Structure 1
Amino acid sequence: MNTDKIQPFVQLFTLNDAEATQRVSERLALVLRDAAAYREQFADELDERGITAAMKLPEQELRDIALVDALSLEDLAWENDWKEDAAEMADGLNEILTRQQRGYALPTSALPGGRNRNAEALDALQDALEAKGLALVLYTLDSDSYPLGVVDDAQAEEARQLAQELGFKLTVY
């Protein structure tokens, strides 16, 4: 696996935060290089997700969890419950936009489709982000939550490509 692409991939989310880029990149390099070592080092976090050392977790799923957890610790990913509507999801995404210093916040009360859930909510959020040159990222987890992130719309294809090359699953709207 070509791990020299980790840092450029991570920078799509961390932007100019070199320290966050370093922390996230190191964590992802570990899960890609040695899944067993990752499980051992981050056993407490995995346990919080209900994943114990005795469980046989597919490596793909472990990689995807590592990505979401690493970005979440930096406030660059947000996991929402399937019951939350678009307005509630916008609140979570606004935390990411603030952390990325985008200078923009999604409208919550005035968001078209603000009470929609699931796919309709994601569409409403993407429409609002797209108007500002941003793209919604949906991280793939076997879970009842929707882990979300934000990248520049102009870098959406690069995010998809690098994720695929590194072995992560995500959808960029």
Structure 2
Amino acid sequence: MNAMLLLVKKLSYDVEEQIFSEVSLAIEKPESYFEKFKERLDERGIDSPIDQLAWISLVDALLDHDLAFELDWKESGLYICDVVDELLDRKKMACMSWEDFEDGEIDELPTSQCLNEISGKLKEQAISLACLDIESDCYVLITVPSSDIDEIMKLAQEAGCRIQDSF
């Protein structure tokens, strides 16, 4: 099985069959995938099948199933905490207490610094906050057990994509 499909298995939680189906279509029949998801791809400015179609199909499928969240590059810290809570809840991972961030100082930080602060707090609970790189000015965030992050990043690299756990 190729690295992209192994990545699907690691990231798709309880909707593996649906996501596997979408990504497989993008790999095996890119024209068919493009036609089926033309509207979704159009929103990304993609007007024909591209080399990274399988990667984009994985990202979009994770977004559709609330297993990832696409965040603007200039979001506030407490909003990001809410997003992370939703990602954790979706995968039934431990909820976090954000009391340390409620003084408002995190909202003054640039988004990348906020993400690093939040990531550090999650690591205390053996959870990694990671970003699926789609070469855009946004962050596509996922949460995964820290024990899986190295393998996930390695599979992404083998698949010709990038997942990073620092911002």
| Pairwise CA distance, 1:10 | 2.7
Are residue 81 (structure 1) and residue 80 (structure 2) matched? Answer: no
CA distance in 2: counterparts of 1:88 and 1:128, whole angstroms? 15
| Residue in structure 2 matched with residue 149 of structure 1 by the alignment | 142
CA distance in 2: counterparts of 1:98 and 1:89, whole angstroms? 14
| Residue in structure 2 matched with residue 121 of structure 1 by the alignment | 114
* TM value normalised by structure 2: 0.84
The verdict on how the C-alpha distance between 1:5 and 1:43 changes in structure 2, with shifts beyond 3 A counting, is: closer
Runs (4 or more) in structure 1 with deviation over 4 Å come to none
User: Does the 8 Å CA contact 2:8/2:58 hold for their aligned counterparts?
Assistant: no
Residue among 78, 91, 95 paired with 1:100: 91
User: Does the 8 Å CA contact 1:12/1:152 hold for their aligned counterparts?
Assistant: no
| Residue in structure 2 matched with residue 23 of structure 1 by the alignment | 18
Unmatched 5+ stretches in structure 2: none
CA distance in 2: counterparts of 1:93 and 1:82, whole angstroms? 15
Are residue 3 (structure 1) and residue 5 (structure 2) matched? Answer: no
The verdict on how the C-alpha distance between 1:102 and 1:147 changes in structure 2, with shifts beyond 3 A counting, is: same
CA distance in 2: counterparts of 1:39 and 1:108, whole angstroms? 44
CA distance in 2: counterparts of 1:64 and 1:117, whole angstroms? 27
| Pairwise CA distance, 1:41 | 1.5
Residue among 10, 13, 38 paired with 1:12: 10
- For the aligned residue pairs, the C-alpha RMSD in angstroms reads 2.4
| Pairwise CA distance, 1:137 | 1.1
| Pairwise CA distance, 1:32 | 2.3
